[in-house]
Structure 1
Amino acid sequence: MFDCKVKVREIADILKISAGIVHTIIHEHLGMKKVFSKWVPHLLTPEQKQQRIDDSKSCLDMFTRNKSEFLRRYITMDETRIHHFTPESNRQSGEWHAAGESRPKRPKTQQSAGKIMASVFWDAHGIIFIDYLQKGQTINSDYYIALLERLKAEIAKKRSHMAKKKVLFHQDNAPCHKTMKTMAKLNELGFALLLHPPYSPDLAPSDYWLFADLKKMLRGKKFGSNDEVIAETEA
């Protein structure tokens, strides 16, 4: 119990008995089994876990009070990298074959190094706009503030039902999203910022829905430039 990673062979060598006997004792008599660690994005502290509960309940209560109104006012955003080539998944490569036929073969390929960063702003009605980061630029607070100003203009143009409504805006906790300059701009624009607990990608609908479908549609397609990637993404 002092070394949970000790191997069966090591115990057998120390006790001068067979590995088979050690295996039987460990599994059948002691009721032990070897388990492997599970990968998680971040190990949360008790305080962060409690914050996840509190923030999730707050958003759920807001949604439950008036679902239709919540969805009319809710706008979210996230960034994703779109590669010039992403190989298709095993499921996408499936083909119908007669019984007894050999399985088709394909070489193992990696996604391309060429890629472009897309910032997507969207709501329950669809995409509001997508910004594509130009080569040599980075998304800092100033860049992000410019996107928020564009969002305000696009909402006025494309979402007439929001003319007298306050936007319920949801973003993750990326550094450029949480600076004092960004918070001041969100307040100036009149956006109500929804809570997003730390290290909670599962609460960002872009991650588990929109981007997953987008990447699935682009898998297996090859593009020669950023312009081709942008055109296909827009389509």
Structure 2
Amino acid sequence: MNITCELTMLTKLEHQCVIRFSTKPGKNKKTIKVEMDCVYRESAPSLSTIQKWSSEFKRGRESIEDDPRPGRPVVATSQENIDKVEKLILEDGRVKVKSIAQVTNLSIGIVHDIIHDHLNMSKVSARWVPRMLTQLQKDMRVARCSDVIDLCGENDDAVLQRIVTGDETWVHHYGPESKQESMQWHIKGSAHPKKFKVVPSAGKVMATIFWDCEGKLLIDYKEKGVNITGQCYTNILRQLKDAIKEKRRGKLTKGVLLLCDNAPVHTAHIAKAAIVECGFETATHPPYSPDLAPSDFFLCPNLKKHLRGIFFSDDEALKAAVEEHFYTKE
């Protein structure tokens, strides 16, 4: 209750107290009205109010507070209705509030109150995941993560120094900014800025990027229309070995631990043979787990975020921007 309501209630009780005090000696109602007008002026009660309360006090009433009103009993949010609403929601998690109101014969407002205040529920969107894993695939995921923990042991820095990871990604001549990236300050009450829907440009380049904890090792580019095959990936692995020998002296001797996802070109027989030929070890990757591949959740998203909103006239300008991005990170 706010301060205005509290003052109004106090004034009302005060008026009724004065009326009772004036009625006891036998003053008539008009005299009480004149006296209260002199004291309270604009806030004085009306004559009808004085007549009502004066009559009550003459009949022996002592209380100056209003009698409680019976009102309408609150039955809409009864436990029975709460159970009905809960049952409908548990049977169908996508049921609409309007449908619940029709089935239960309750108002939409009451259904909202029951859902939010009594059941403590709210409607949320499903979270997108790459794939619904089977129990076997979940067990494999746990097993691979346990292997990594066991591999690290107490000397995790040494293991991190050995890991080389990489993946393929498309980079476009123009990638439009996301809605969040295009947010800007504006004065309240002014018109919101408009943003037209734009799709990525058709011009694009496939970049195969390998990197380790110290930075970029190798970037190989393939123009639009060129597919990454097992033979192509094999040639890239041989280039990777030469890049490691040139940029990370001693790394091959310590042993390279290659971490890649389960894309078909990465698991092809010819690619596996090339990995053995190069002297690399492989860190087994769980199926359908891009969140465990550093390139998928870190490197590629940050690269594309850096390039968004910039228009590149040709492939060479785009490649130069990619190289500059990684150069600034080293």
Q: Which bracket does the TM-score occupy, shorter chain normalised?
A: 0.7 to 0.9
Kept in 2, the 8 Å contact 1:55–1:196? The answer is yes
Alignment of 1:108-119 (within 5 A): 108=196, 109-119=198-208
Equivalent AA in structure 2 for residue 119 of structure 1: T
Matched, 1:38 2:117: no
The separation in 2 between residues aligned to 1:30 and 1:76, in whole angstroms, is 48
Equivalent AA in structure 1 for residue 303 of structure 2: L
Kept in 2, the 8 Å contact 1:59–1:195? The answer is no
Question: Over the residues paired in the alignment, what is the CA RMSD in angstroms?
Answer: 2.6
Alignment of 1:29-178 (within 5 A): 33-90=122-179, 92-93=181-182, 102=190, 105-108=193-196, 109-178=198-267
Question: Based on CA coordinates, which of the two structures has the bigger radius of gyration?
Answer: 2
Post-superposition Cα deviations, 1:193-228, rounded to whole Å, max 9, x if no partner, equal 002101111111112222232122212210121121
2:274 aligned to which of 185, 205, 208? 185
Post-superposition Cα deviations, 1:39-60, rounded to whole Å, max 9, x if no partner, equal 2111111221221111112112
Post-superposition Cα deviations, 1:113-159, rounded to whole Å, max 9, x if no partner, equal 32211100111121111011123310111111111111112222222
Q: Alpha carbons of 1:27 and 1:165: their partners in 2 closer, same or farther (altered >3 Å)?
A: closer
Kept in 2, the 8 Å contact 1:173–1:198? The answer is yes
The separation in 1 between residues aligned to 2:214 and 2:96, in whole angstroms, is 56
Total equivalences in the alignment:
234
The separation in 2 between residues aligned to 1:208 and 1:79, in whole angstroms, is 13
| Structure 1, unaligned runs of 5 or more | none
For 1:137, what is the secondary structure of its paired residue? coil
2:320 aligned to which of 212, 219, 231? 231
For 2:206, what is the secondary structure of its paired residue? strand
What is the deviation of 1:31? 5.8
Matched, 1:199 2:285: no
What is the deviation of 1:106? 4.6
Kept in 1, the 8 Å contact 2:204–2:224? The answer is no
1:213 aligned to which of 275, 299, 302? 302
Q: Which has the higher contact order (CA 8 A, sep 6+)?
A: 1
Q: List 4+ stretches of structure 1 deviating above 6 A.
A: none
Report sequence identity in percent: 43
Q: Alpha carbons of 1:83 and 1:9: their partners in 2 closer, same or farther (altered >3 Å)?
A: same
Structure with greater helix percent: 2
Post-superposition Cα deviations, 1:65-88, rounded to whole Å, max 9, x if no partner, equal 423322222111111111111223
Equivalent AA in structure 2 for residue 63 of structure 1: C
Q: Alpha carbons of 1:27 and 1:188: their partners in 2 closer, same or farther (altered >3 Å)?
A: same
Kept in 1, the 8 Å contact 2:206–2:224? The answer is no
The separation in 1 between residues aligned to 2:191 and 2:304, in whole angstroms, is 26
| Structure 2, unaligned runs of 5 or more | 1-87, 325-330
The separation in 2 between residues aligned to 1:92 and 1:125, in whole angstroms, is 29
The separation in 1 between residues aligned to 2:167 and 2:290, in whole angstroms, is 10
Equivalent AA in structure 2 for residue 153 of structure 1: D
- The range that moved more, 209-218 or 10-19, is 10-19
TM-score of the pair, normalised by structure 2? 0.63
The separation in 2 between residues aligned to 1:16 and 1:48, in whole angstroms, is 46
TM-score of the pair, normalised by structure 1? 0.86
